[in-house]
A and B are shown apart, each in its own frame.
Chain A
Amino acid sequence: MSWNKHGRLHDIITWPEREEVDKYVYTPGLHGLELAKALMDGRILGMRCSDGKVYVPPKTFCPDYGQGELVEVKGPWRLQYYTVVYENLYGNRLEKPVVVGVIKPDDAVNGIIHIVNADPSKVYVGMELRPVFRPKEQRRGVITDIQYFEPA
């Protein structure tokens, strides 16, 4: 190397490899397990922290490091911030643009991240939204049990 480099690409081998396993299995965690049960039931939970503030989704412990107390959040939900994804990281256009929002229920201090099923040209900050759950038999207690949020 250094002064005796070889630049001819013919001499350089490219070696395909990977760093993959067959799959990862992620457990839902302490609050996550309760959230999972609620989602299957069509409800969304948050956590109340020692200062009385409610955060969504519940994450077992609070930003003040104390344990959070589970509470149900009911909304109404509003679009707090949003973006529209038109292409992927490689610069390929998506078939259909995706609206992604930070969606905050009035009874919490922050919002969750989720998909907004709406025409990109019609979304605006403050827009009232409602969660649309998948049919009960398709729910598995995961975040995608909420199929998306749509204009209320």
Chain B
Amino acid sequence: MPRRVGIIGVGWYGFRPSTPEVHFQGMMFESSHRAYADANVDPRKDVDVFVDCQEDLWEGVAITDEFAPEPIGGTLRPTFTVPGDGLLGVAHAYMLIRSGLADVVAVEAHGKPSEIRTLQDVYYMAFDPLHVRPLPTGNPFFLAGLDAQAYMQRTGASREHLALVSVKNRTNGLKNERAPYSARLTVDDVLSAPYAVYPLTRYDIAGFSDASVTVVLASEEAAKRFTDKVVWLDGIGFSTETGSGAVEWHTWGRMLSMRDAALMAYKLAGLAGSPSASFDLAEVEDRFSFMELLSLEELMLAKEGEAHRLLEQGHFNLGGPLPVNPSGGSLAMGVQLEATGLARLLEAVLQLRGEAGPHQVKGARKAVVATWRGVPTYTSAVAVLSAG
């Protein structure tokens, strides 16, 4: 039997459009400090490996790994950086624990987009320098516009459906203390707004926020030493469809990386039958409104082309059969760059512990979390969690 992996602590700081009061490392210290308190561990004694998730050009530092160890307690200890979403760091933690190399692993991810003055240029720097970057496309999110158009064309989802996602999530966010972009909105508000990147209006696109999130994971035996508040990580999956230097190979209107990641995570979690019946809630990608619908289909929580129908029927509402993004998602919380996946994992952990507060999904026992790294990547990660 492979070792079981649990999440024994979570901590966060930020979730605001800007955080001038903290240096980015201060933010990392704050979130990790809270996570270690939550897990009841001493990072200097109890944590075997530290994983940090950050990217050089989001940070403005070449080799940003240098700044990883001190704030999270990883000085002179096994510490390394995964330049990728926090959920990819969690995948490493899962493997480290399953391999037997580590009993307790801490994963920190952060994003401080408010400090990037030339965010658009930095985004474009991730584009293929030969075939895409030189084109005068005006906004790096045009890639999401292409996928949105292709998705709507394939499924028949309309702008109203996209608007409904935005309304649902921004409303859910009103009950979440980590959701600066939440609001009471109507579908008409969204539809009457001008396009930002057709077919998306500004309401369909998530804003940015600064945050650090830390998660502490442990093997089943080790978890018992520290806490009885365990949420099990039953499975994790991650996948890349194609490189950003070959975006032309992407299947437009699909997110095959999320499908592949879901298959991997479900297999590890031993999920049989219909995954949609398995979960009490889902925290899924929604940095562009259509991505929530597409994610639900790639996660097989809705049949292909049917997510928007279920949405209409209130299936994904708080209180519906499968609440999706009870946190308000990225549309309410913002995109925290590489911390986005952990922001969603954090929400799912709190839900499964029954500690989500006003937006608690009653009796939640099992959850799925899915994230995508955003434009111009085709990399996704999926986690399956269950209450302890």
Contacts and interface: CB of A to CB of B under 8 A. Distances in A.
A86 B149 contact: no
A85 B20 contact: no
A67 interface: no
B11 to A, nearest CB: 12
Contact of A19 (B61, B131, B138): B61
Interface residues of A, number: 50
Nearest to B20: A12
Nearest to B29: A1
A141 B337 CA distance: 35
Given A24-B129, A63-B242, A143 B135 contact: yes
Given A29-B130, A81-B149, A81-B153, A144 B197 contact: no
Contact of A98 (B57, B60, B137, B149): B137
Interface in B14-52: 20-22, 26, 29-30, 33
A143 B138 contact: no
A108 to B, nearest CB: 10
A114 interface: yes
Contacts of B138: 85, 87-88, 94, 98, 100
Interface in B247-266: 247-249, 252-253
B129 A86 contact: no
Given A83-B149, A91-B202, A125-B153, A19 B20 contact: no
Contacts of A84: 145, 195, 197-198
A81 B253 contact: yes
Interface in A66-108: 80-91, 94, 98, 100-102
B146 A81 contact: yes
B102 interface: no
A141 to B, nearest CB: 10
B20 A9 contact: yes
Contact of B249 (A2, A7, A12, A63): A63
A57 B137 contact: no
Contact of A89 (B56, B120, B134): B120
A19 B149 contact: no
Contacts of B136: 98, 115
Most buried by A among B199, B242, B249: B249
B310 interface: no
A55 interface: yes
A58 to B, nearest CB: 10
A99 B87 CA distance: 34
A106 B150 CA distance: 18
Given A56-B248, A100-B146, A111-B248, A89 B132 contact: no
A17 B60 CA distance: 8
Interface in B117-164: 117, 119-120, 123, 129-132, 134-142, 145-146, 148-150, 153
A48 interface: no
Most buried by A among B29, B60, B139, B153: B139
A112 interface: yes
24 contacts: A1-B22, A1-B26, A2-B33, A16-B117, A32-B130, A55-B249, A63-B242, A81-B252, A81-B253, A84-B195, A85-B138, A85-B197, A86-B194, A89-B119, A89-B139, A90-B119, A91-B202, A94-B139, A98-B142, A112-B131, A113-B131, A142-B130, A142-B134, A143-B131
Interface of A: 1-2, 5-7, 9, 12, 14, 16-19, 24, 26, 28-29, 32, 55-57, 59, 63, 80-91, 94, 98, 100-102, 110-115, 120, 125, 142-144
Given A19-B60, A98-B136, 18 more contacts: A7-B21, A12-B20, A26-B130, A32-B130, A55-B248, A63-B246, A63-B249, A81-B153, A82-B146, A85-B145, A87-B202, A89-B119, A98-B142, A113-B131, A113-B146, A143-B130, A143-B132, A143-B135
Question: Top 6 A-B pairs ranked by shortest CB distance?
Answer: A83-B145, A84-B198, A85-B138, A89-B120, A26-B129, A81-B150
